[in-house]
Structure 1
Amino acid sequence: MSSATSSPPSIRERLNDSWLWYSFKRDPVAQLSLLVFIFMVAAAFLAPWISPADPYDLAQIDIMASELPPFWVDGSEPDYLLGTDSQGRDMLSTILYGTRVSLIIGFGAVALQAALGVCFGLLAGYKGGKIDAFLMRLADIQLSFSTLMVAIIVGALFKAVFGGVTYNTYAVPLLVLIIGLAEWPQYARTVRASVLAERGKEYVDAARVMGLSSVRIMFRHILPNTLSPIFVISTVQVANAIISEAALSFLGLGMPETQPSLGSLIKSGFDYLQSGSWWITLVPGLVLVILVLVINLLGDWLRDVLNPRLYKG
């Protein structure tokens, strides 16, 4: 059969022949990071089925079993591998549920950042003129405030207006909204720079001559050529969003202690460090460090792969 009539390569064949897969096979750090990340994500989202207890179920919490140490410390109990916190909750269970909450906030905030930043960046880069100037000055103003500053102000105002009970009820979507709105300029500036490099190329001029709308040209033709930096930024921003949630929880403006996240677990155990119950803070803190580390390592690898000039091989 001639090559002209042969079937096109499958997705698997194209992946096997791609630079992405070739680079991944040669990078043991990226392989290990991806395995650890997949394991942590799977464990977090399977928490309702694999965790020893449900930290939201008061019937499963024994206050008399509070501050029990992990299994490698004298005085531990076999039912609590990583010990218990000050409320008597199983630490392994709260960490699994808490990691799930942190991941939901991290991915949700990045999705909102990307949606806003990509739209504003495409519009600013393609239209130019006053629209570009307005959106970029808005981004500059936004960047002059740190994420934590914006989150602290908005979170404190929400608590003052609606009360702590309402804040606790809507803590997850509110944190997604706060962190997402605080970080969209990172995407907007990067996408704008890519669009400025693409909008003068022949395929864009051809699309205009064909009478295609500006929206179709931006999203169907220009956007696919700007995805590489978006993917790289997203990996970094997921880690930043998880850290921001942890910092806000530590300051009392994140997840409440009754709804564990990695940040709220670290905060809840901070007051017990002096009493010797170090595991309440140290164990979830270690999980947070590992999670952020593997995401950043994957981001570094992805940056090098998508820019072969930086890849050392």
Structure 2
Amino acid sequence: MTTSTTVPRAGRWERLRDSYLLYSFKRDLVAQLSLLIFIAMVAVAILAPWLAPMNPYDLAQIDIMASEMPPFWMAGSDDAYLLGTDAQGRDLLSTILYGARVSLIIGFGAVALQAALGICFGLLAGYLGGRIDAFLMRLADIQLSFSTLMVAIVVGALVKAIFGSSTFSAYAVPLLVLIIGLAEWPQYARTVRASVLAEKGKEYVDAARTMGLPSRRIMFRHILPNTLSPIFVISTVQVANAIISEAALSFLGLGMPETHPSLGSLIKSGFDYLQSGSWWITLIPGAVLVALVLVINLLGDWLRDVLNPRLYKG
């Protein structure tokens, strides 16, 4: 009589512990520092209402007489304002914390919308092919011919003309998420389509078809999980691009209003005061924006190298 032994399946933590992803991360100091800085920046942005010395949205806490106060290391500074104040008398540290939260919300929200649209369209185009593929890819080509700035101008002009500037300011965050998301979804669609074309001819897809599984289940339950690697990589790049797009639109007056700080609107609000010597109003938020985008791009570069199947992983 023969006995069979069942090998227990490794749990998720065991698989992660033994994966090349964690192996590579432990040996990449740049990736570790980038992730640490990114987590710290996200944490302080989320905890802004509790960490910020004052609420920049509360007019009762703003002292116009304390406008353009320099940072603590310069002469004429005030200990109550570590990074100084802006032209409206708001504490710059507080506005940066609140502004970073707004920028991150717009960045991740826009990428979520891009991914939802791009993944659905890419799956349909790659799996179904034919006229649907041709139509969706031509739609993507048309969309790519319109820049994010052009889409923002059109949508912003329509909203302001129909509902007024006050409504645009009140709903600036969801509008920017919508604008940036609609402008950048073809990046995901093209990437997913290429991955689907490589996967749909494999044996596990043929087996799923033979079993009579519906196309929707085959696409989302079988093909999509095998296309996640390029999606993760492009998402890191797109988050950084979305944050930069928000900053650019706010700087041009098409994004967040100055009364609702984001990193872009903070840079814009202090740009006119560079000549007068109040450089900190623009340069300090600009440095925070550069640091945030830099660590996201560094994490994206590391993730791209780790998930590249052409690299040797021995």
Per the shorter chain, which TM-score range?
over 0.9
Equivalence for 2:237: 236
With over 3 angstroms needed to count, the CA separation of the structure-2 counterparts of 1:277 and 1:189, relative to structure 1, is same
CA 1:307–1:3: 2 relative to 1, 3 Å: farther
Does the CA-based 8 Å contact 1:126-1:196 persist in structure 2? yes
Q: Does 1:273 align with 2:274?
A: yes
User: How much does 1:8 deviate?
Assistant: 2.5
What is aligned with 2:228?
227
State the shift of 1:155 in Å: 1.5
Which secondary structure state, in structure 2, belongs to the residue aligned with residue 208 of structure 1? helix
2:111 equivalent in structure 1: 110
CA contact (8 A) 2:246 2:255 kept: yes
2:16 corresponds to which letter in structure 1?
A: L
Partner of 1:263: 264
Quick one: distance in 1 between partners of 2:313 and 2:204? 32
What amino acid sits opposite 1:234 in the alignment? S
How far the C-alpha of 1:151 sits from its partner, in A, is 1.6
For 2:135 and 2:183, how far apart are their aligned partners in 1? 17
Cα displacement (A) at 1:6: 4.9
Per-residue deviation, 1:223: 0.2
1:62-107 Cα deviation digits (max 9, x unpaired): 1111100001111101010000001110000000000000000000
5+ residue gaps, structure 1, are: none
1:1-313 correspondence to structure 2 within 5 Å: 4-310=5-311
Q: How far does the alpha carbon of each residue in 1:142-163 deviate from its partner, in whole angstroms, 9 at most, with x for none?
A: 1111122212222222222221
Contact 1:257 1:264 in 2 (8 A): yes
Q: How many Å separate the matches in 2 of 1:311 and 1:48? A: 46
Give me the whole-angstrom Cα distance separating, in 1, the residues matched to 2:309 and 2:125.
28
Asked whether the 8 Å contact 1:156–1:253 carries over to 2, the reply is: no
Q: Read off the aligned partner of 2:93 and give its amino acid letter.
A: L
Give the partner amino acid of 1:143: L
Q: Could you tell me whether the CA contact under 8 Å between 2:20 and 2:313 is conserved in 1?
A: no
The amino acid that maps onto 1:135 is L
How big is the shift at 1:117? 0.2
Find the residue that maps to 2:310 and give its secondary structure.
helix
Whether the aligned pair in 2 keeps the contact of 1:305 and 1:311 (CA below 8 Å) is no
- Distance across 2 between alignment mates of 1:311 and 1:63: 60
Give 1:170 deviation, angstroms: 0.4
**2:123 partner letter:** L
Amino acid at match of 2:199: E
Report the identity percentage: 84
Pairs aligned (count): 312
> Please, which runs of 5 or more residues in structure 2 have no aligned partner?
none
Cα deviation code 1:180-237 (max 9, x no counterpart): 0000000001100110111111111111111100000000000001000000000000
What's the Cα RMSD here? Answer: 1.4
The answer to whether the Cα contact below 8 Å between 2:45 and 2:101 also exists between their aligned partners in 1 is: yes
For residues 271 and 64 of structure 1, the distance between their equivalents in structure 2, rounded to whole angstroms, comes to: 19
The alpha-carbon deviation at position 3 of structure 1 amounts to: 9.3
1:6–1:274: structure 2 CA closer, same or farther, 3 Å change rule? Answer: same
Work out whether residues 122 and 192 of structure 1, in 8 Å CA contact, stay in contact via their aligned partners in 2: yes
For 1:309, what is the secondary structure of its paired residue? coil
CA distance in 1, matches of 2:127, 2:237: 26
In the TM superposition, structure 1's runs of 4+ consecutive aligned residues that sit over 4 Å from their partners are 310-313
Structure-1 separation of matches of 2:300 and 2:102: 21
- After superposition, the Cα gap between the structure-2 partners of 1:163 and 1:9, relative to the gap in structure 1 and judged at 3 Å, is same
**TM-score, normalisation: structure 2:** 0.97
Distance of 1:270 and 1:28 partners within structure 2: 36
**Counterpart-to-counterpart distance in 1, 2:70 and 2:312:** 45
| Matching residue's letter, 1:98 | G
Letter in 1 for 2:192: V
